[in-house]
């Protein structure tokens, strides 16, 4: 179905266009020309069409039209094509005089909104001036249609096995490498015994898919033990015969997600083999392993989900007030924890924005910040240090208090992050 759209566009005047007060309106000799920016388009892909009202005569011609809402003057002969638009708050009719040999030009952003069976079609654009009973139509414009690119069905990763995992002294299970949580990780055994390298993990792709690369996210806590340095990556159809590696190399150092590419290949199983560890230790760890499918952009994943809930209207009165307890601890310590110029400066328009920007960019020893929910937000006075804004936030890394104060310049905020429980350790 053709969408109902109201088009609002700035009017673009050509070199030979002049707008004057109207004299007589004579539209008997106008000519409409439609000029597409491309003649081969995909379904739902926008393209521009220049619409020219030409005056081929030797006398000036005047047309009356609305300033912005062109859909009331223009129409397409083919219902398979439409244009992009938006509502306008100001609109009024005006007279436009087109000099001899001149043209009035506008440009529409058009698209084929729904799949069609034909590989090509043609359309004409018609123009009807206000108060005119005559419509002027362009010659037919031919467009070749390429079907909309099929969406890539997202493959699911299923843990199969690892050669070693630590399950006694920590949750180092192999499935942590494909659980979508950057703060859990697979770690090879270290309690009681530390089997040596190489180590490997096998993962099944559901359904079998064509892939062109993989990613490796190191553990995101304060430690780098087990972070892979040299690697080999294999694919298989049966999970037993992996043959030669399709990619081998050395990961760049750091906590960021590593991206490795290779020629597209279809497979059902993948295997990542760790050949060496960045510190020369015998372990391997991985927070997340993903595959890059054919047709998918090879880019790092953003695990940030931001604010996952509104500020509650009621607070839990059965628990001690976290912000009151936090402020009392500061006052009991003379407010000394606020002394120092190392509080970070943030540009923000509101305390809520400070929280979002601070949690997104902060680095925490306990892992990667992915989401938060504001539980409480209010002004507090901390002794002679003045009035601050304290925000209690429940995050995927636990409850935290973001303490902030508007700086001497509007929009500049001093802020720090503390744990919401005694002894209120500084986290960032």
Domains of the chain: 12-146 (2.60.40.10), 156-293 (2.60.120.260), 307-419 (no CATH)
Which residues are bridge partners to 188 per DSSP? Answer: none
**pTM, to two decimals:** 0.63
What letter does residue 294 receive in the DSSP assignment? T
What are 219-228's pLDDT values in tens digits? 999 999 999 9
The structure tokens 């539980």 sit at 375
Which residues are bridge partners to 229 per DSSP? Answer: none
Residues with Cβ within 8 Å of 157's Cβ and at least 6 positions away in sequence, in order, are 178, 203, 204, 205, 206, 289, 290, 291
Rounded to 10 degrees, the C-alpha dihedral 247/249/154/299 comes to -130
- Other beta carbons less than 10 A from residue 108's beta carbon: 23
| Greater pLDDT, 133 or 7 | 133
User: DSSP 3-state assignment of 75?
Assistant: strand
Give the per-residue pLDDT at 85. 54
| Greater pLDDT, 383 or 350 | 350
Task: Please tell me the distance from the alpha carbon of residue 382 to that of residue 276, in angstroms, as a whole number.
Answer: 51
What are 152-196's pLDDT values in tens digits? 779 999 999 999 999 999 999 999 999 999 999 999 999 999 999
Give the per-residue pLDDT at 342. 46
User: DSSP 3-state assignment of 262?
Assistant: strand
What are 267-301's pLDDT values in tens digits? 999 999 999 999 999 999 999 999 999 988 888 99
């Amino acid at each position: 179905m053709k969408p109902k759209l109201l088009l609002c566009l700035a009017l673009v005047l050509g070199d030979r266009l002049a707008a004057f007060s109207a004299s007589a309106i004579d539209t008997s000799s106008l000519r409409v020309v439609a000029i597409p920016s491309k003649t081969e388009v995909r379904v739902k892909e926008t393209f521009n069409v220049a619409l020219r009202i030409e005056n081929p005569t030797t006398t000036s011609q005047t047309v009356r039209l609305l300033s912005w809402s062109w859909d009331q003057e223009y129409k397409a002969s083919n219902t398979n094509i439409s244009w992009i638009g938006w509502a306008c708050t100001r609109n009024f009719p005006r007279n436009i005089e087109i000099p001899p040999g001149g043209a009035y030009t506008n440009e529409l952003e058009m698209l084929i909104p729904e799949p069609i069976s034909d590989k090509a079609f043609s359309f004409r654009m018609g123009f009807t001036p206000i108060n005119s009973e005559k419509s002027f139509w362009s010659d037919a414009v031919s467009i070749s249609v390429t079907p909309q690119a099929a969406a890539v069905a997202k493959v699911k990763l299923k843990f199969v096995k690892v050669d070693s995992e630590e399950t006694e002294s920590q949750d180092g299970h192999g499935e942590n490498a494909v659980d979508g949580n950057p703060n859990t990780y697979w770690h090879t055994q270290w309690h009681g015994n530390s089997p040596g390298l190489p180590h490997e993990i096998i993962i099944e792709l559901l359904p079998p898919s064509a892939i062109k690369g993989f990613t490796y996210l190191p553990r995101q806590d304060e430690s780098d033990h087990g972070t892979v340095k040299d690697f080999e990556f294999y694919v298989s159809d049966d999970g037993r015969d992996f043959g030669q590696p399709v990619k081998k190399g050395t990961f760049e150092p750091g906590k960021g997600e590593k991206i490795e590419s290779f020629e597209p290949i279809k497979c059902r199983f993948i295997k990542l083999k760790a050949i060496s560890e960045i510190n020369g230790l015998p372990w391997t760890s991985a927070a997340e392993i993903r595959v890059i499918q054919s047709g998918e952009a090879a880019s790092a994943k953003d695990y940030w989900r931001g604010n996952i809930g509104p500020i509650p209207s009621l607070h839990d009165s059965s628990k001690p007030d976290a912000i009151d307890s936090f402020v009392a601890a500061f006052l009991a310590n003379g407010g000394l924890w606020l002394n120092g110029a190392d509080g970070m400066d943030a540009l923000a328009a509101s305390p809520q924005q400070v929280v979002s920007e601070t949690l997104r960019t902060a680095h925490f020893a306990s892992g990667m910040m992915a989401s938060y929910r504001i539980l409480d937000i209010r002004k507090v006075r901390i002794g002679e240090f003045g009035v601050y804004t304290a925000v209690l936030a429940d995050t995927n890394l636990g409850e935290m208090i973001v303490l902030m104060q508007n700086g001497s310049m509007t929009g500049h905020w001093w802020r720090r992050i503390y744990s919401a429980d005694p002894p209120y350790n500084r986290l960032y």
